[in-house]
Amino acid sequence: MDLQSLRYFRIVAREGSFSQAAQKLNYAQSNLSTKIRQLEGELETPLFRRHAHGVTLTEKGESLLAYADRLVHLLEEAESVVRDDGTAKGSLSVGSMESAAITFIPVLLAEYHSRCPGVSLTVKTGVSQASMRSVLDGTLDGAFVAGATGHAELSSVPVRRERLALFSATGTETTPVANLLAGPLLVLPHGCSYRQSLEEWLDAERIFPERAVEFDSIGSLLASVSAGLGAALFPESLASVYTAAKGLICHAVPEPYAWADISFVWRRDRFMDSTFRSFLGLLREKSKAGNKAI
């Protein structure tokens, strides 16, 4: 069992599909399937259940994935230790909610780049839960997430506190908030902390909305709010980005649901190379200065 086979195995497991994994690896699907079958033959057990929609891990496959993650993580850490000469360089991959990626994170990244121009930055947007999973499996170096971050394998630093608002189209200034909540609500996929806050608010008020319309991007969601499709709950800071179109207004949210705490998370056991240490230092510096510094 070699490390290359384990790398292939991890990607197939994450993608849930040989074709998608092969595309990600830029590798022939037939060769990838052969590699995995060879690994299964060597271990004398099936690692995947093949079906029409892709693959899922068997119980033995789940066990191997946990070990494969640890082995690859240790190898990457060893490489980082040897190569680290005290200079921030190489690459840094960061996850973020889309709302943060278009409001305060660009300023942070610009400052980090000015301090560490030798680092190649990658930002992947997604809901908080998905970003945390990507940090845990080593796909991301760290991520900006909203809400609770109390995972045993993660460390975190507070970054910013966001005030939430209920967005609706212009012309609804005098519409009772309860009426807006009862109408169509526009949301991001499950795992979005803002969606969770909205659902908790609705549950507390015993409001049952007409329906939820799910989007995979904030841009299309807020454009639909502006068009009058329904209302949505998001950080008030988004208003500064979208009110140029004069299509949105913000309604106050009750205190228990009016705030979202944004943190940056990373694996507790990761090696702090100069690249990551520099980024974390910038975040801690900004955190101490408060929201106005970001």
| Domain of 76, in residue numbers | 3-82
Beta-carbon neighbour count of residue 272 at 10 Å? 12
**Residue labelled with tokens 């029409």:** 52
Domain C-terminal end among 40, 58, 82? 82
Both 15 and 59 in one domain: the answer is yes
Report which residue type is found at 91.
S
- For residue 97, what is the domain's CATH number? 3.40.190.10
CATH number (domain holding residue 59): 1.10.10.10
Q: Greatest CA span in the chain, whole angstroms? A: 69
* Number of folded domains that form the chain: 3
Instruction: Write out pLDDT tens, residues 216-272.
Output: 999 899 889 989 999 999 999 888 776 544 678 889 999 889 999 999 999 998 878
Residue % of the chain over a pLDDT of 70: 96
Tens digit of each residue's pLDDT (9 = 90 or more) over 178-224 = 999 998 999 999 999 999 999 999 999 898 887 899 999 998 998 89
Burial 194-231 (b: 16+ CB within 10 A, else e): bbbbbbebbeeeeeebeeeeebeebeebbbbbbeebbb
Within this chain, do residues 156 and 128 fall inside the same structural domain, yes or no?
A: yes
Residue 276 has a CB neighbour count (10 Å cut-off) of 20
Q: Does pTM top 0.85 for this prediction?
A: no
Closest CA to 162 of 193, 124, 123, 127: 193
